[in-house]
């Protein structure tokens, strides 16, 4: 009975989170706050992917901004074209060069179906090629982390440097509608929130299923003893590759939803600093736990937008200290506290005395 | 001819800067396994030391020479503090040192933003460096030659210390076999601290040289850190010659690609080339071969 209860606990948690996001939040929050919460949900999607690769797979991805950008720019390009209407050319391009035709790679993004397909296909292709090359050559640990960060830096530099095609540092903005729904209408913005929150819950369900599958066991085994996994006849590179690709898709979807919510996409939202910001929530919440990354990312997102509005400098200190303190004192994040607490609770529930008597008698 | 000479010389100077920055990393990352993301902010500390010295000393001719040793000590001291407060807790968790020092880097950057003017500070080039050398018709700024000589001096000094002094032997012993070195009476804790001091100090020296060439603002460290890490990774750990070659190649190829395309595209191309290179040689150019699986 207890084991069945235990195995369904994560599902109950997901249901509780879904209830909080889809029913409670829209009922109590104002339009503005709901829009902010939608933004945190986008970051949380990235965080769920980082939890999968870093927490369970041991691969510290410091460049999720790359995949975030793939989704965000695909969506941004589509919404930009939708806003200027059929045959129109985005304003920033006209400002730059009134006579320039629309670049060829922009053209297909007029189609909404193509855009949605690209949001999923682009990260799969990029992450597969990259991951295949990196993992097959057994590049790992710090090397892997630095390489991914270098890619985020490279892509951010590339976008900043190609003003003509991407809007450069100013980015894409001035969107008016999202797949036919005008963005001015608060009701439509609530709809966008609902979609985002549903996608986040979807990501959580996917990761939950992965964690309880044989793949999840293999992933943890690869993290803890890669050579043993290899000796057992599995190829750790494939295991890592799957986790990396899934995380990339989640980051891309998060990026895509970020654009209608934030109303702007610029390199600042995906560069090395942003990629590190994505990790902050995961580290705080607990990288290996199911709910750690989500709750951590929501908390860090909330912290950023409330604190940084009032004292921008202070927030950076807080974030920096968070990294230092969490990595030194609490590598398992806040979730590790919860697990410890839950262990004691479960012991009390069953009537079995936990190993430390003090906790039982207290 | 000019189109070849200019990028070659400029690139070599950039490579020399990268080399001084990467030497410190090669010591701390390559030899101790610690990934110090705050290394870039130590560069910044060096550059700011150059600026502050210039404000204090009336003669700009003298201040740059004074700033070099001071920056070495300032950045080195920062490194020792970082080692004693943060890194010592996680020698067995290299990935965590990376994250913790990212936090330290953010704090240091914000401190600089809060203390110094946010648009950055200017370091005046001393008169004796404000000349051009005529190299096959190309007017080469003398300060670039200065950075190359500086890199050579740092490299020579470091190599000599590692090779000829008893302390250098202790460092190498600790790197090769920590447990055995301890058995032989080497205080590995002490060695760690001093290695960190020297590695961080080199970042300070590089910072002074960078302040002569680039703008000194809070983003200076971020600009160099990733390239410096790529140089260390591509050069291979445990040997300095790989770092030297990698720094030079990255510097010169960036200069050539910048010449042919634009600065940002050049950076992207070089990053991608390094990633491809690591496909061919995942351990970098030169590596110490072991029988270990890792």
Give the up-direction half-sphere exposure of residue B111: CA atoms within 13 A in the CB hemisphere: 13
Per the structure, how many domains does chain A have? 1
Of B95, B106, B263, the CB nearest to A60: B95
**A322 closest CB neighbour out of B90, B98, B103:** B103
- Low-confidence spans in chain B with pLDDT less than 50: 292-294
The chain B residues in contact with chain A (CB within 8 A) are 29, 35, 86, 89-90, 93-96, 98-100, 102-107, 109-110, 113-114, 222, 226, 229-230, 233, 262-265, 267-268, 271-272, 274-275, 278-279, 282, 293
pTM of the model: 0.89
Domain assignment present for A326:
no
Q: Which residues of chain B does A316 touch, with a Cβ-Cβ cutoff of 8 Å?
A: 106-107, 109-110
DSSP string covering B129-189, please? Answer: G--EEEETTEEEEHHHHHHHHHHHHHHHHHHHHHHHSHHHHHHHHHHH-HHHHHHTT--HH
Kindly report the backbone phi and psi dihedral angles of residue B130, in degrees, each rounded to the nearest multiple of 5, phi listed first: -90, 50
Q: Is A251 exposed, middle or buried (0-12, 13-18, 19+ CB in 10 A)?
A: buried
Q: Structural domain boundaries of chain B?
A: 2-218
Element containing residue A265 per DSSP (H, E): strand A264-265
| Cβ pair B238, B251 in contact under 8 A | no
The whole-number average pLDDT for the span A6-14 is 83
Inspect the interface and report whether the beta carbons of B107 and A272 lie closer than 8 Å.
no
User: Which pLDDT score, from 0 to 100, does residue A71 have?
Assistant: 96
Of A29, A81, A59, which Cα lies nearest the Cα of A147? Answer: A59
Q: What is the DSSP string of A154-223?
A: HHHHHHHH-HHHH-GGG-EE---EETTEETT-HHHHHHHHHHHHHHHHHHHHHHHHHHHSHHHHHHHHHH
Give the pLDDT confidence of B112-156 residue by residue, as tens digits.
Answer: 988 888 777 878 778 777 777 777 777 788 888 888 999 999 999
Give A84→chain B minimum CA distance, Å: 29
- Asked if the Cβ–Cβ distance from B96 to A227 is below 8 Å, we say no
pLDDT the model gives residue B294: 45
Q: Which residues of chain A are within 8 Å of residue B30 when distances are taken between CB atoms?
A: none
Chain A 166-225, residues with CB within 8 Å of chain B CB atoms:
none
Name the band, by pLDDT with cuts 50, 70 and 90, for residue A354.
very low
Separate counts of helices (H) and strands (E) for chain A: 17, 4
Average pLDDT over residues A168-176: 88
Rounded Cα–Cα distance for residues A155 and B189 (Å): 40
Domain that holds residue A70: 2-267
A299: in domain = no
> Is A362 within the bounds of a domain?
no
ipTM at complex level: 0.85
Q: What pLDDT, on a 0 to 100 scale, did the predictor assign at position B30?
A: 66
As given in the structure block, the two tokens for residue A230 are 């290899």
Q: Is the pLDDT of residue A82 over 80?
A: yes
3-state secondary structure of B53: helix
Q: Do residue B230 and residue A321 have CB atoms under 8 angstroms apart?
A: no
- Which residue is closest to A141 within chain B, CA to CA? B95
Q: Do B271 and A138 touch (CB under 8 A)?
A: no
Asked if the Cβ–Cβ distance from B102 to A276 is below 8 Å, we say yes
- Closest-CA residue to A217 (of A200, A229, A205): A229
Q: Is position A287 within any domain?
A: no
Q: Does residue A231 belong to the interface with chain B, where contact is any CB pair within 8 Å? A: no
Which single residue is written with the structure tokens 């009922």? A27
pLDDT band, very low/low/confident/very high, at A360 (cuts 50, 70, 90): very low
- Residue B57 C-alpha from the chain's centroid: 26
Of the candidates A309, A321, A317, A248, the residue with the CA atom closest to the CA atom of residue A284:
A321
A154 interfaces chain B, CB cutoff of 8 Å: yes
Segment A21-36, tens digit of pLDDT: 998 999 899 988 999 9
More confident residue, A94 or A2: A94
């Amino acid at each position: 009975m207890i084991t069945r209860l235990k195995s369904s606990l994560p599902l109950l948690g997901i249901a509780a989170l879904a209830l909080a996001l889809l029913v409670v939040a829209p009922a109590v929050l104002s339009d503005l706050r709901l829009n902010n919460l939608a933004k945190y949900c986008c970051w949380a999607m990235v965080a769920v992917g980082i939890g999968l690769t870093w927490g369970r797979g041991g691969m510290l991805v410091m460049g999720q901004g790359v995949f975030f950008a793939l989704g965000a720019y695909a969506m941004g390009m589509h919404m930009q074209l939708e806003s200027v209407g059929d045959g129109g050319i985005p304003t920033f391009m006209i400002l730059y060069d009134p006579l320039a035709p629309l670049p060829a790679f922009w053209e297909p993004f007029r189609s909404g179906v193509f855009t949605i397909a690209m949001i999923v296909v682009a990260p799969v292709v990029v992450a597969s090629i990259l991951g295949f090359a990196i993992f097959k050559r057994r590049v790992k640990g710090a090397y892997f982390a630095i390489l991914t960060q270098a890619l985020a830096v490279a892509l951010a530099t590339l976008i900043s440097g190609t003003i003509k095609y991407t809007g450069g540092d100013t980015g894409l903005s001035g969107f008016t509608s999202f797949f036919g729904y005008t963005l001015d209408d608060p009701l439509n913005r609530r709809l966008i929130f609902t979609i985002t929150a549903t996608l986040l819950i979807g990501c959580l369900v996917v990761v939950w299923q992965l964690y309880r599958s044989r793949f999840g066991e293999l992933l943890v085994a690869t993290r803890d003893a890669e050579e043993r996994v290899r000796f057992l006849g599995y190829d750790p590179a494939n295991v890592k590759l799957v986790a990396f690709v899934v995380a990339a898709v989640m980051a891309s979807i998060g990026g895509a939803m970020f654009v209608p919510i934030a109303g702007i996409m610029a390199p600042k939202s995906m560069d090395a600093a942003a990629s590190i910001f994505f990790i902050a929530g995961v580290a705080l919440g607990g990288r290996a736990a199911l709910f750690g990354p989500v709750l951590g990312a929501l908390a860090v997102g909330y912290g950023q937008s409330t604190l940084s509005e009032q004292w921008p400098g202070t927030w950076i200190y807080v974030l920096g200290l968070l990294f230092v303190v969490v990595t030194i004192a609490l590598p398992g994040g806040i979730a590790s506290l919860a697990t410890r607490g839950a262990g004691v609770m479960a012991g009390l529930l069953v009537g079995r005395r936990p190993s430390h008597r003090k906790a039982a008698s207290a | 001819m000019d189109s070849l000479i200019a990028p070659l010389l400029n690139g070599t100077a950039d490579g020399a800067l990268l080399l001084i920055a990467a030497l410190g990393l090669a010591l701390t990352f390559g030899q101790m396994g610690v990934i110090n993301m705050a290394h870039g902010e130590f560069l910044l500390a060096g550059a700011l030391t150059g600026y502050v010295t210039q404000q204090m000393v009336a003669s700009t001719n003298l201040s740059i020479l004074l700033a070099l040793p001071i920056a070495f000590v300032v950045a080195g001291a920062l490194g020792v503090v970082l080692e004693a407060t943060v890194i010592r807790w996680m020698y067995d968790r290299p990935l965590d040192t990376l994250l913790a020092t990212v936090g330290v880097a953010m704090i240091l950057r914000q401190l600089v933003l809060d203390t110094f003017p946010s648009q950055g500070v200017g370091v005046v080039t001393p008169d004796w460096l404000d000349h051009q050398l005529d190299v096959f018709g190309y007017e080469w700024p003398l300060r670039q030659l200065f950075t190359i000589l500086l890199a050579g001096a740092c490299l020579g000094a470091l190599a000599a210390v590692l090779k000829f002094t008893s302390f250098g032997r202790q460092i190498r012993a600790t790197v090769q076999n920590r447990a055995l070195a301890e058995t032989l009476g080497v205080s590995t804790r002490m060695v760690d601290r001093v290695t960190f001091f020297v590695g961080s100090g080199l970042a300070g020296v590089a910072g002074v040289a960078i302040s002569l060439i680039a703008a000194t603002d809070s983003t200076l460290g971020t600009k160099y850190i990733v390239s410096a890490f790529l140089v260390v990774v591509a050069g291979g750990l445990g040997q300095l010659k790989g770092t030297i070659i990698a720094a030079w190649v990255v510097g010169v190829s960036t200069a050539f690609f910048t010449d042919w395309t634009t600065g940002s595209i050049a950076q992207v191309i070089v990053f991608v080339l390094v990633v491809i290179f690591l496909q061919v040689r995942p351990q970098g150019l030169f590596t110490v071969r072991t029988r270990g699986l890792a």
